[in-house]
Structure 1
Amino acid sequence: MADDETDYLIIGAGAVGLAFADALIDEDPDCHITFVDKHARPGGHWNDAYPFVALHQPSAFYGVNSMAFPSEQIDPHGPNKGLYALASGAEVTAYFERVMNHRLLPSGRVAYHRLSEFRGRDEGGTARIIGVLSGAEHSIAVRRKLVDATFYQTSVPATHTRAFAVAGGVRVTAPGALPDLWKDPSRIPSNFVILGGGKTAMDTGVWLIEAGVDPARIHWVRPRDSWLNNRKYVQPGEDFLGATVESQIAHLNAFAQASDGHDVFEALERGGYMLRLDPDVRPDMYHYAVISEGEIALLRRITQVIRTGRVTAIEPGKLLFGDVAHAVPTDALFIDCTARAVPFSAMENSGPQFRGDTIVLQPVNVPLVTLSAAITAFLEAHYPDDATKNQLARAGPLTDTPETFPYAFMMNMMNRGTWSQTPEIAAWLAQSRLDPTAPTIARMMAAGDPRLAVLAGFRAAVTDAMPAVIRLGMAAKAIHETPRQNDQPAAMK
């Protein structure tokens, strides 16, 4: 006999699992939910992130449906000036604690097993969990479904396993240790070497420059460059709707004229909607990162960029890239930003979200993972069978290159088109704070706001571009699903 029972057992109490549970307890007032998570607090990888981490985009459409972040305001200074302020990592973890402690647990319909690990379930649906610290075993009978909220497998510098060797006498640290360097002035290095080309590395570069480090003292190992979304066009509310729709129309127009994903991004760059760090290097990576023009200006001050590939080993005064060596100052501090935030290659667990007695939470509006989880909960509560639910929300791919981006864009357009034609889903989206535009448009429609005239151009662009979206999307799908030689874990993100 099981120790406890529940309707839905959610593995993972990070942003995705919390967004699913938050929506489900509203849409299904009779269900009971149990969380199992290895962390000591809700929030998933946010608990392990470096102290200067922040959301890439405004918090207005991040988190859970029922609870807004405490404040939303325009930054009056700094590289994000004129745009909505970004919630810090500390603010995000505090937010998720409020969601659990002030919203979910007080409902009386949610249980939370922190510092616990899911160890599978038997044929009868009873799950086995083990206390991380205690080693104690606990059994939970699952009446309805297991919900896997760990699909994204998010890795951060503090918890990932390095893919390069480090010789004795070499100082390598995670970004999270940088704010503590002041505690031992004798150990402050003369030079810093950033390892990695992703958003963590960019955040680290910005932090070092804003902390007063001369950019000439910063070396940056960047094996791949990335296309970056201009944050100016990823803003909430009525005042920014025109810019948001303008960007969406530009995306559609780019598809209508493009022969592949590279053409799409280059057209978007010409309009200022996409950015890149080095104007002379064509990016071959796209992880949906969002950045401001001010941050780009700071990062371009770092001119010692090393493009030899992925680091295989570090020795005193030397970076090794296989058989190729690159000299660096002997007292340099190496900052490991190589954790892969999301495993973008095709994963074994990808496929339909609804699988009988299991739900595998995946993006259905890439890259809006919390909106995706919330709408999946809505479908679970209101539609009768897996085939219908999977048709209404097709799992989208986490593509990572310009070549494969059209596949994700096509899936987003197909899902959004389905939702707009399904009255119940459209009505739910119009009230969902996690949707970047639907609630804004609903408010403006109710007020008769003339600024909604911009939507006519969007509808026309959709009609004109969809044949090209499908053509490029299907070609990109074939590329995405072809096994690649470099699908093994990358040394650099």
Structure 2
Amino acid sequence: MTAPETDYLIIGAGAVGLAFADTLLDEDPDCHITFVDKHAKPGGHWNDAYSFVALHQPSAFYGVNSMEFGDDTVDLSGPNKGLFPLASGAEVSAYFVRLMNRRLLPSGRVSYHPLSEYLGMEDGVARFRSILSGKESHVTVRRKLVDATFYKTSVPATHTRKFDVADGTPLAIPGQLPDLWMRGDDLPGHYVILGAGKTAMDAGVWLLEAGVEPDRITWVRPRDSWLINRTYTQPGPDFFEAVIESQIAQLNAAAEAATGDEMFEILGRGGYMLRLDPSVKPEMFHFATISEGEVALLRQITRVIRHGRVQAIAPGMMTFAGQQETVPDDALFIDCTATAVDFHEYNAQLPLFDGDRITLLALHVPLVTLSAAVAAFLEANFEDDEAKNALARPGPLTDTPNTYALALLANMMNRGGWSQNPQVSSWLAKSRLDPTGPTVAALAQEGSPKLAALGPFKAAIAKGIPALQRLAVAARAEHNAK
């Protein structure tokens, strides 16, 4: 039997693969796309996330270009008060299901194989297998294979723990916390959050908002983190001047600083970056975005342990390298130690366009859906890999404040190339995934005085780019060691 044919086989129907396909359908009206994905529904890791997870960034520029997400009404209460709402995990999942069922499949140009595992491709024929039935299928790929799984996103429900757990130790992942009410009176007397990332912060906010007293929470934070102040990531004209102010501040801080650490200290003093404990120097930066209201909540948790990563847990006991800590015997450990992205493997830095293969990587860190949409636009509108890759230099996912200059410099170089290319710049001005392009275009059309905020940008670029290059050179060895 002859295998069915497709132009692009996309491995993974998560946010990145869907954003690529959505733009490609519009830019190349003759192409056919086939998805192979392990999950039962589109949305990738959102299918596995804990129930109270929410986007870090405003919904307005997440998802895909063709379909609006979120609304234009700011939150009137809660820790995100005064800012645009953050979609819940359930809302994100429903959005991607709606995209598949109402746009992609009805187009007649998309095939979708959920609960399927990609097995490889030889001589232009890709193989995949149904996870439930074991049946193997083939599809002939006329143009390219698209890897939308390179981030290898890990969440608490799917990651492998790197610490030992003694028998009988009360342990949960964040997704199990909302079910604690089912235990009646048999509730933990204490809670121990393991991990320092955004998942741990979400768990802390959830516990506090659920009524748990702060002194009943212990937080194991191997490293403290710098956090992006969400005020400066908001969409639309009302926040435009603040967003531009923040971007200029980053360039000016780079010019003033001798190291990435010093750059973040400067940004922290300006309120553009936040930290949970003002007395502790953050050693981590993973692009987490947070509101000042969430920071105020989390600062109520004062039982913080900083002995590095936990190596083993047992009822009432934690073991670290060289020392132990006790907690109440009825303490529930909450595992928030999953690493969202495999930094080492991701930062191998493959070319995005490589013959008959496309690897979807971040072109504007950390805006992965915008990056995927840009990749699709380049694929459809430019002829050769050299021209495409010149406009698509993958940005590294950095781990520390010192190495952030590498990512920011990559963003600036890509944005500079896009702004100088009439095709790309015109498209970005209409792309809902771009945080500033459509806003600038709309303000320009109405002759808004808010555009005066862009005035200092040229001078900031002139001194900021050489400074970022200097900081990036100094940070390269540290980054490569990660």
TM-score relative to the length of structure 1: 0.96
Question: Which position in structure 2 is the counterpart of 1:488?
Answer: none
Superposed CA deviations along residues 238-293 of structure 1, whole A, max 9, x for unmatched, are 01000000101100110111111001100000100000011111011001000000
- 2:45 maps to a residue whose letter is H
In the alignment, the residues of structure 2 paired with residue 397 and residue 283 of structure 1 have an alpha-carbon distance, to the nearest angstrom, of 20
Superposed CA deviations along residues 73-132 of structure 1, whole A, max 9, x for unmatched, are 20001111100011110100000011111111110000000000000011x110110001
After TM superposition, the structure 1 = structure 2 runs for residues 51-450 of structure 1, keeping only pairs within 5 Å, are 51-122=51-122, 124-347=123-346, 350-450=349-449
What is the root-mean-square deviation in Å for CA atoms of aligned residues? 1.1
Question: Which position in structure 2 is the counterpart of 1:12?
Answer: 12
* 2:70–2:85 CA contact under 8 A, matched in 1: no
Q: Is 326-335 or 458-467 further displaced after alignment?
A: 458-467
* 2:59–2:70 CA contact under 8 A, matched in 1: no
Question: Which position in structure 2 is the counterpart of 1:21?
Answer: 21
Distance 1:72 1:187, change over 3 A: farther
Superposed CA deviations along residues 188-245 of structure 1, whole A, max 9, x for unmatched, are 1000000000000000000000000000000001001110000111100001000000
- 2:372 maps to a residue whose letter is A
Superposed CA deviations along residues 145-202 of structure 1, whole A, max 9, x for unmatched, are 0000001100000111111111111111110010011111232100000000000000
In the alignment, the residues of structure 2 paired with residue 316 and residue 309 of structure 1 have an alpha-carbon distance, to the nearest angstrom, of 20
In the alignment, the residues of structure 2 paired with residue 31 and residue 349 of structure 1 have an alpha-carbon distance, to the nearest angstrom, of 30
SS in 1 for 2:455: helix
SS in 2 for 1:186: coil
* 1:175–1:337 CA contact under 8 A, matched in 2: yes
* 1:194–1:205 CA contact under 8 A, matched in 2: yes
Question: Which position in structure 2 is the counterpart of 1:487?
Answer: none
In the alignment, the residues of structure 1 paired with residue 36 and residue 171 of structure 2 have an alpha-carbon distance, to the nearest angstrom, of 33
Question: Which position in structure 1 is the counterpart of 2:43?
Answer: 43
Q: 1:3: Cα distance to partner?
A: 2.8
In the alignment, the residues of structure 2 paired with residue 38 and residue 183 of structure 1 have an alpha-carbon distance, to the nearest angstrom, of 31
Q: Is 363-372 or 66-75 further displaced after alignment?
A: 66-75
- 2:44 maps to a residue whose letter is G
SS in 2 for 1:345: helix
In the alignment, the residues of structure 1 paired with residue 346 and residue 415 of structure 2 have an alpha-carbon distance, to the nearest angstrom, of 24
Q: Quick one: percent identity of the two aligned structures?
A: 65
Distance 1:430 1:348, change over 3 A: closer
Q: 1:351: Cα distance to partner?
A: 1.6
Q: Which runs of 5+ in 2 are unaligned?
A: none
In the alignment, the residues of structure 2 paired with residue 295 and residue 456 of structure 1 have an alpha-carbon distance, to the nearest angstrom, of 33
* 1:49–1:89 CA contact under 8 A, matched in 2: yes
In the alignment, the residues of structure 2 paired with residue 346 and residue 463 of structure 1 have an alpha-carbon distance, to the nearest angstrom, of 33
SS in 2 for 1:224: coil
SS in 2 for 1:41: coil
* 1:345–1:400 CA contact under 8 A, matched in 2: no
- 2:16 maps to a residue whose letter is V
* 1:354–1:390 CA contact under 8 A, matched in 2: yes
In the alignment, the residues of structure 2 paired with residue 90 and residue 143 of structure 1 have an alpha-carbon distance, to the nearest angstrom, of 36
Question: Which position in structure 2 is the counterpart of 1:476?
Answer: 475
Distance 1:415 1:138, change over 3 A: same
Q: Is 180-189 or 296-305 further displaced after alignment?
A: 180-189
* 1:316–1:330 CA contact under 8 A, matched in 2: yes
* 1:345–1:399 CA contact under 8 A, matched in 2: no
Distance 1:415 1:404, change over 3 A: same
* 2:395–2:411 CA contact under 8 A, matched in 1: yes
Q: 1:349: Cα distance to partner?
A: 5.1
Q: 1:385: Cα distance to partner?
A: 0.8
- 2:323 maps to a residue whose letter is V
Aligned length: 482
SS in 2 for 1:452: helix
TM-score relative to the length of structure 2: 0.98
* 1:346–1:480 CA contact under 8 A, matched in 2: no
Consecutive aligned runs of 4 or more in structure 1 exceeding 6 Å deviation: none
* 2:352–2:358 CA contact under 8 A, matched in 1: yes
In the alignment, the residues of structure 2 paired with residue 38 and residue 454 of structure 1 have an alpha-carbon distance, to the nearest angstrom, of 46
In the alignment, the residues of structure 2 paired with residue 454 and residue 2 of structure 1 have an alpha-carbon distance, to the nearest angstrom, of 60
Q: 1:2: Cα distance to partner?
A: 4.4
Q: 1:346: Cα distance to partner?
A: 4.9
Superposed CA deviations along residues 345-380 of structure 1, whole A, max 9, x for unmatched, are 354753210111100000010000000000000000
- 2:99 maps to a residue whose letter is V
In the alignment, the residues of structure 1 paired with residue 37 and residue 17 of structure 2 have an alpha-carbon distance, to the nearest angstrom, of 10
Q: 1:466: Cα distance to partner?
A: 1.7
* 2:307–2:321 CA contact under 8 A, matched in 1: no
Superposed CA deviations along residues 392-424 of structure 1, whole A, max 9, x for unmatched, are 110110111111110111111111111111010
Say if 2:464 is the partner of 1:465.
yes
* 1:409–1:473 CA contact under 8 A, matched in 2: no
